[in-house]
Chain A
Amino acid sequence: MLFDVTQLALERAIEGAGKRHEALAANIANANTPGYQRLEVDFHSALASAMDRGDETPSALERLSFKPAKDQAAGVTRADGSTVDIDTEAAQLAVNALEQQAAVQVAHTRINILKAAMGVGG
């Protein structure tokens, strides 16, 4: 098999980070919207549970879909009823971008290894 489970998982992680970025960007865009409930995409646990399926892992990874959900755990800290804390959102955004970069870099290196093995040079 040319592309193994790890490569598939990396692809899904990149996709998940993209979805999470959308949710965090929406939170920041709504930083001044009264009563707004922050969105969160928990792609880490979705990926982890798919990776835990043994032989069914590849098909579980294929079927994964990352859905944004209202973050029920976030408490209201503001007078206008919004659960957005702009500093936390900005920090999470930076963390998420770095995670995406890590996944992309690993995927890139693995592709280069395959290329080298095929004799097309990396």
Chain B
Amino acid sequence: MSMFGGLEISASGLTAERLRMDVTAENLANAQTTRGANGQPYRRKEVILQEAPGSFGATLSSVMGGGQNSSGGGVHVAGVVEDSTPPKRIYDPGHPDADAEGYVSMPNVDTVSEMVDLISASRAYEANVTAMQAAKQMFSRTLELLR
């Protein structure tokens, strides 16, 4: 890991949390969308996060030297997947997308839990910013030694 490893790790956290916020915003925007891309009601999307492996150099040195040498590369977005829970069915015979029995399939988006996700992503983003600021201060303080 380079000298600025701490900054890179926090930056990966910022990317991941921003993507979570984007996806949550998309879910909220489409909470009432009955015609998604494939003609079906919109399906709630979810971000899958996983621990990022370290750089090639860090992995090599941990294999050669035995034991873990770096703290890895932070967090990695493994993908954005669709929530497979069935759509909510609402009785609304006047709706153009209603089926023969008068039921409309609405997206499986729960706005309240989306809001909770949004707050959790926002707070996690702030925590990563704080970590980044601390790293910056530590680097500049160490550079003060040269004065």
Chain B 1-37 interface residues, beta-carbon cutoff 8 Å to A: 1, 5-6, 9-10, 12-13, 16-17, 20
Query: Contact at A17–B145, with CB atoms within 8 Å?
Result: no
A residues near B121, Cβ cutoff 8 Å: 32
Please, how many angstroms separate the alpha-carbon atoms of A19 and B5 in the complex? 9
Q: Of B79-87, B93-101, B129-137, which stretch is located at the interface?
A: B129-137
Please, how many angstroms separate the alpha-carbon atoms of A84 and B97 in the complex? 45
Cβ proximity bits B114-128 to A, threshold 8 Å, 1 near / 0 not: 000000110110011
Query: Contact at B145–A30, with CB atoms within 8 Å?
Result: no
Please, how many angstroms separate the alpha-carbon atoms of A18 and B142 in the complex? 10
**Chain B interface, >50% SS class:** helix
How near does chain B come to A80, taking the closest CB pair, in angstroms?
10
Query: Contact at B68–A69, with CB atoms within 8 Å?
Result: yes
Query: Contact at B138–A97, with CB atoms within 8 Å?
Result: yes
Query: Contact at A104–B75, with CB atoms within 8 Å?
Result: no
Query: Contact at A33–B145, with CB atoms within 8 Å?
Result: no
Please, how many angstroms separate the alpha-carbon atoms of A28 and B14 in the complex? 10
Please, how many angstroms separate the alpha-carbon atoms of A108 and B141 in the complex? 10
Task: Choose from B51, B70, B138 the contact partner of A17 (Cβ within 8 Å).
Answer: B138
Q: How many residues of B contact A (CB 8 A)?
A: 38
Query: Contact at B6–A22, with CB atoms within 8 Å?
Result: yes
A residues near B127, Cβ cutoff 8 Å: 28, 31, 86, 89-90
Query: Contact at B141–A22, with CB atoms within 8 Å?
Result: no
5 contacts between A and B (CB under 8 A): A22-B1, A25-B10, A25-B71, A29-B16, A97-B137
Binding site for A on B (CB under 8 A): 1, 5-6, 9-10, 12-13, 16-17, 20, 49-51, 67-72, 74-75, 120-121, 123-124, 127-128, 130-132, 134-135, 137-138, 141-142, 144-145
Binding site for B on A (CB under 8 A): 14, 17-19, 21-26, 28-34, 36, 39, 41, 65, 67-69, 86, 89-90, 93-94, 96-97, 100-101, 104, 107-108, 111
Question: Apart from A67-B67, A93-B130, what are 17 other A-B pairs with CB-CB below 8 Å?
Answer: A19-B71, A21-B131, A22-B71, A24-B131, A25-B128, A28-B13, A28-B127, A29-B16, A29-B74, A29-B131, A30-B75, A32-B16, A32-B124, A86-B124, A86-B127, A101-B138, A111-B145
